[in-house]
């Protein structure tokens, strides 16, 4: 009986005289992964002719990223062709500017070598070659290093800006357009002129601190990446209603599962290595305010049965004379 093309691709026990099965290309949601994933995936499905086989193979490749997997299953169930579904997947999860800047950010964040090392030198060369190749592919630049120079300049400048300014810029910039330094500089100058014309410095009059739930629900930050609290795009974890409705232990469990920093909820570092100057508004501890837990100040096993308000009043009045 003739083996189906998909079975031939996925079968781990092929003929003995064949090379071992190549691992599936995987996509886990990062825009910087898309180009490599797309190239490997399209090479692997050259022998597949039926849309059903292509859908099945793609779904296996997306098992580690549920939002993309759910999208493809919905598109397949709607009856669209694989070509249409594949184009829709790329449109939804591959954002050119985010991917472009991501390569340079990763390059800038590379740790400095502590000692002479051939491995470290080659790793740096490989990272730079990958960044140059990806930048040219995204911008369709075939020669020169103009796109690389622009990418490095913009990435360095963005790493020095405050979060509020970055948020304002993100609201204006096209997520699918790669901005050269000249255009990005124009946007920066426009923002600087806006701030200069305001009657009061935005940072001088600090608003009253909102409650933890209100702060999470009211923060508005544009982000193309899916929120790790609900897997939806268009907002960050700070404005996620699903996250706001979780209990503190549930939030901690989610943050730990996603490998996030407990202080700023960012990715790529631990709480110990967090560079954010912000701390918990409730206790000034090294954790995000949404992860603060109210604790009973009395020691465990205390026999103090008095009403809390009475204890508080007596403590405030001081010792009796």
- Residues whose CB is less than 8 angstroms from the CB of residue 148 and which lie 6 or more positions away in sequence, other chains included: 131, 132, 135, 136
Q: Where are the domains of the chain?
A: 5-12+22-94, 97-113+121-197, 211-261
- Residues whose CB is less than 8 angstroms from the CB of residue 261 and which lie 6 or more positions away in sequence, other chains included: 267, 269, 270, 271, 274, 276
Q: Which two tokens stand for residue 148?
A: 């690389």
Q: Is 119 exposed, middle or buried (0-12, 13-18, 19+ CB in 10 A)?
A: exposed
Tens of pLDDT, residue by residue over 218-265, are 444 444 567 877 777 767 777 787 878 888 888 888 888 888 888 888
Give the ranges where 173-234 is alpha helix by DSSP (H).
181-197, 212-218
Contact indicator for 107, 127 with CB cutoff of 8 Å:
yes
The CA distance from 54 to 86, in Å, is 10
Q: What is the pLDDT of residue 296?
A: 52
What b/e sequence results for 239-277 when a residue is b if at least 16 CB atoms lie within 10 Å of its CB, and e otherwise?
bbeebbebeeeebbebbeeeebbbbbbeeebeeeebeee
Q: What is the pLDDT of residue 78?
A: 92
Tens of pLDDT, residue by residue over 161-181, are 788 888 888 888 888 888 888
Q: What are phi and psi of 5, to 5 degrees?
A: -55, -40
Residue in the structure block whose two tokens are 């960044």: 131
Q: What is the dihedral of CA 261, 265, 269, 270, to 10 degrees?
A: -10
Q: Which two tokens stand for residue 11?
A: 């079968």
Q: What is the pLDDT of residue 95?
A: 85
- Report which of 276, 223, 213, 220 is spatially closest to residue 243, judged by C-alpha positions: 213
The count of C-alpha atoms lying within 13 angstroms of the C-alpha of 125, restricted to the half-sphere facing its C-beta, is 6
Q: 0.85 cut: is pTM over it? A: no
Number of H helices, E strands in the chain: 14, 0
Contact indicator for 276, 264 with CB cutoff of 8 Å:
yes
The count of C-alpha atoms lying within 13 angstroms of the C-alpha of 89, restricted to the half-sphere facing its C-beta, is 31
Give the ranges where the chain is alpha helix by DSSP (H).
5-10, 34-44, 51-61, 66-78, 82-93, 96-108, 118-139, 146-159, 163-172, 181-197, 212-218, 241-244, 248-257, 308-317
Q: What is the pLDDT of residue 295?
A: 64
Q: What is the dihedral of CA 44, 101, 63, 35, to 10 degrees?
A: -10
The CA-to-CA distance between both ends of the chain, in Å, stands at 98
With a cut of 70, which residues of the chain have pLDDT below it? 1-22, 113, 117, 145, 199-225, 234, 295-321
Q: What is the pLDDT of residue 54?
A: 92
- Report which of 108, 122, 69 is spatially closest to residue 92, judged by C-alpha positions: 69
């Amino acid at each position: 009986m003739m083996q189906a093309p998909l079975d031939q691709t996925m079968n781990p026990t092929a003929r003995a005289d064949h090379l071992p099965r190549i691992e599936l290309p995987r996509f886990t949601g990062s825009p910087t992964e898309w180009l490599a994933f797309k190239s490997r995936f399209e090479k692997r499905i050259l022998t597949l002719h039926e849309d059903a086989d292509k859908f099945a193979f793609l779904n296996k490749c997306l098992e580690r990223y549920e939002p993309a997997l759910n999208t493809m299953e919905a598109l397949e169930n709607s009856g669209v062709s694989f070509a249409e579904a594949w184009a829709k997947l790329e449109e939804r999860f591959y954002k050119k500017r985010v991917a472009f800047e991501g390569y340079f950010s990763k390059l800038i964040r590379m740790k400095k070598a502590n000692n002479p090392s051939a491995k470290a030198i080659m790793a740096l060369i490989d990272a730079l070659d990958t960044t140059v190749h990806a930048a040219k592919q995204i911008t369709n630049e075939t020669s020169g290093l103009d796109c690389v120079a622009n990418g490095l300049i913009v990435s360095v400048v963005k790493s020095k800006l405050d979060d509020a300014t970055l948020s304002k810029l993100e609201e204006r910039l096209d997520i699918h357009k790669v901005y050269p330094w000249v255009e990005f500089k124009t946007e920066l100058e426009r923002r600087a002129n806006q701030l200069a014309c305001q009657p009061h410095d935005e940072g001088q009059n600090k608003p009253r601190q909102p409650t933890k739930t209100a702060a999470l629900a009211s923060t508005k930050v544009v982000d193309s990446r899916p929120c790790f609290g609900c897997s939806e795009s268009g907002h960050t974890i700070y404005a996620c209603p699903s996250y706001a409705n979780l209990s503190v232990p549930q939030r901690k469990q989610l943050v730990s599962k996603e490998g996030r920093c407990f202080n700023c909820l960012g990715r790529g570092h631990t709480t110990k290595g967090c560079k954010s100057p912000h701390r918990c508004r409730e206790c000034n501890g090294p954790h995000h305010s949404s992860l603060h837990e109210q604790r009973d100040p009395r020691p465990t096993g205390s026999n103090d049965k008095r009403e809390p308000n009475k204890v508080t009043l007596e403590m405030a009045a001081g010792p009796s004379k």
